[in-house]
């Protein structure tokens, strides 16, 4: 019968007949009805009920649910099917279809009822194929080292309570939070402002001035001269606008855009935003933009100079950005070796007295 463990409450008629026969034969062989039911893990009351039903040839269970008085009428089911035929390609959801029926004044029922009717008639919404992701663009060949201020990435996060947005620039190599700007607007003007501040603070503005000279021609991607650094971003309108592209070229910044709908291409900056809002959730409750700017300034200082970053070897972004990483890692390695030797010396000279 293919059964193991306790007998389910609902089994087919043939299984019930087989179980009744097993108990009957066990009873003939000297087993009591109670002992046989206990061995088969079949409740005795269920056995008695089945035996009574078997006498009248009624072992087939009725369909579950009975005949509820609140079930939909045949005409309502017909309307649901007609709306599906007319609107399935538009709505593509049983939830939308339930509301569509109400807006059309044809039927009123819950989305779950619509889903059950469609399942009963084996009707399915056609799933649209998502466009395949393109291949990830490799970094340019001139990115041949992993030094600070060679690859920057920037993006914008939003603060609903304050009605503001913050654009942050991060160094991909050292994870340093380079610069940010918080404003009620989210345009190319904010992008240019935050990059002007970042280039000045990182000491790159004089290099750009020397490259431009008196011509102000800017960086040419098809030319032989190399840019100051690579700037990564998604395809937001403020990142891809003509004014932003012109600003980047005039400041000798090469642009590198991620694939549409692929936030993992900007994983570095998405991780920064995720940590920012997870570790300091109070930021999303601030309503005053001035207070928000002050708080972000404190968080930036903490992120860069206090918080250890696993992705850069458990040092702070500021330490990585200033080239202190190798010295700190070597110091830790030396300290681990020294501590090990000290423990060996201590334990050799302080053996427990076995007496």
pLDDT in tens, 271-318: 999 999 999 999 999 999 999 999 999 999 999 999 999 899 999 999
Helix residue spans in 92-128 (DSSP H): 94-103, 111-120
Q: SS3 for 270?
A: helix
Res 132 pLDDT > 80: no
- Write down the pLDDT at residue 214: 65
Is residue 175 left, alpha or beta, with left meaning phi > 0 and alpha meaning psi from -120 to 50?
Answer: left
Res 1 pLDDT > 80: no
Is residue 289 left, alpha or beta, with left meaning phi > 0 and alpha meaning psi from -120 to 50?
Answer: alpha
DSSP letter string, 273-320? HHHHHHH-GGGGG---HHHHHHHHHHHHHHHHHTS-BGGGTSB-HHHH
- Write down the pLDDT at residue 220: 81
Mean pLDDT of the chain: 90
The DSSP bridge partners found for residue 159 are 164
Structure token digits, residue 164: 């503001």
pTM of this prediction?
A: 0.65
Per residue in 184-194, pLDDT (tens digit) is 999 999 999 99
Per residue in 76-124, pLDDT (tens digit) is 999 999 999 999 998 889 999 999 999 899 999 999 999 999 999 999 9
Res 215 pLDDT > 70: no
């Amino acid at each position: 019968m293919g059964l193991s463990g306790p007998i389910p409450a609902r089994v087919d008629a043939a299984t019930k007949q087989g179980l009744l026969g097993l108990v009957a034969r066990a009873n003939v062989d000297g087993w009591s009805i109670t002992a046989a039911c206990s061995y088969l893990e079949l409740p005795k009351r269920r056995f008695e009920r089945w035996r009574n039903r078997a006498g009248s040839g009624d072992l087939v269970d009725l369909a579950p649910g009975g005949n509820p008085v609140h079930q939909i009428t045949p005409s309502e089911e017909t309307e649901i099917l007609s709306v599906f035929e007319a609107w399935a390609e538009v709505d593509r959801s049983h939830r939308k279809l339930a509301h569509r029926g109400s807006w059309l004044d044809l039927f009123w029922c819950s989305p779950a009822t619509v889903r059950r009717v469609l399942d009963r008639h084996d009707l399915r919404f056609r799933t649209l194929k998502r466009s395949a992701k393109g291949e990830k663009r490799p970094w340019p060949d001139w990115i041949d080292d992993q030094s600070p201020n060679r690859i920057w990435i920037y993006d914008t996060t939003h603060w609903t309570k304050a009605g503001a947005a913050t654009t942050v620039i991060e160094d991909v190599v050292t994870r340093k939070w380079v610069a940010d700007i918080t404003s009620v607007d989210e345009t190319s003007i904010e992008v240019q402002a935050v990059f002007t501040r970042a280039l000045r603070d990182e000491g790159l503005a004089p290099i750009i001035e020397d490259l431009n000279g008196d011509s102000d021609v800017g960086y040419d991607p098809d030319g032989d001269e190399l840019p100051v650094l690579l700037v990564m971003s998604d395809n937001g309108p403020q990142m891809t606008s003509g004014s932003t592209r012109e600003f980047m070229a005039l400041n000798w910044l090469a642009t590198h855009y991620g694939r549409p709908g692929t936030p993992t291409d900007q994983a570095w900056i998405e991780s920064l935003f995720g940590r920012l809002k997870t570790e300091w959730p109070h930021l999303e409750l601030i309503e005053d933009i001035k207070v928000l700017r002050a708080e972000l300034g404190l968080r930036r200082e903490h992120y860069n100079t206090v918080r250890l970053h696993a992705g850069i070897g458990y040092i702070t972004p500021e330490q990585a950005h200033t080239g202190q990483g190798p010295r700190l890692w070597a110091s830790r390695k030396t300290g681990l070796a020294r501590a090990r030797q000290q423990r060996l010396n201590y334990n050799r000279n302080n053996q427990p007295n076995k007496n």
